[in-house]
Amino acid sequence: MSQAATSEAVQIGSKVRIIRVRDRIPAELVELLKADASGVVKGFRTVDGKGIGVVVQLSGNQTAWFFDDEIALA
């Protein structure tokens, strides 16, 4: 499996690791990811009309979404 997880391999409840972030994110989220870049997939969302985003619950119950090439199965 490649380093980037595909939406077909990732399912709700999967444990994932954030491996990169393409867009700017709030400083609070940067600090959270530095402390613990892992989380659990809680759902999916459509992005840009055709892509799939992965909704991840991080530590402290904070939820954020990431592109599928920004995560890897943990």
Q: Which pLDDT belongs to residue 1?
A: 36
Give 2's pLDDT tier (boundaries 50, 70, 90): very low
Q: Which pLDDT belongs to residue 10?
A: 92
- The alpha-carbon radius of gyration of the chain (Å, integer) is 11
Domain ranges in the chain? 15-73
- Beta strand pairing call for 63-67 and 15-18: unpaired
Alpha carbon of 71 to those of 43, 56: distances in Å? 14, 10
> What is the pTM for the complete model shown?
0.83
Q: Which pLDDT belongs to residue 8?
A: 57
Tens of pLDDT along 8-54? 589 999 999 999 998 899 999 999 999 999 999 999 998 877 788 99
Residue 3 has pLDDT above 50, yes or no: no
